[in-house]
Amino acid sequence: MTGDDFCNFFVNWIPLPRLRKAIYRSLGMDIHPTAHIMRNCQFVALGHIHIGARSIIGHDCFLDAKGGISIGCDVNISSFAKIITAKHLIDTADFSGLDKPVTIRDRAWIASAATILQGVEIGEGAVVAAGAVVTKDVGSFAVVGGIPAKVMGTRNRNIDYRLKSRPSRFL
Ligand SMILES: CC(C)(COP(=O)(O)OP(=O)(O)OC[C@H]1O[C@@H](n2cnc3c(N)ncnc32)[C@H](O)[C@@H]1OP(=O)(O)O)[C@@H](O)C(=O)NCCC(=O)NCCS
- State phi, psi for 20 to the nearest 5 degrees: -55, -45
Q: What is the pLDDT of residues 46-105, one digit of tens each?
A: 999 999 999 999 999 999 999 999 999 999 999 999 999 999 999 999 999 999 999 999
* Count of other CB atoms within 10 angstroms of residue 159: 12
Domains of the chain, first to last? 3-154 (2.160.10.10)
78 close to ligand 1 (CB < 6 Angstrom):
yes
Residue of minimum CA distance from atom 8 in ligand 1: 129
Of 32, 36, 50, 88, the active-site residue reads: 88
Expressed in angstroms and rounded, the spacing between residue 12 Cα and the centre of ligand 1 is 30
Expressed in angstroms and rounded, the spacing between residue 104 Cα and the centre of ligand 1 is 20
Q: pTM of this prediction?
A: 0.95
What are the strands, taking DSSP E only, across 74-160? 76-77, 82-84, 86-88, 97-99, 102-104, 109-110, 115-116, 121-122, 127-128, 133-134, 142-145, 150-154
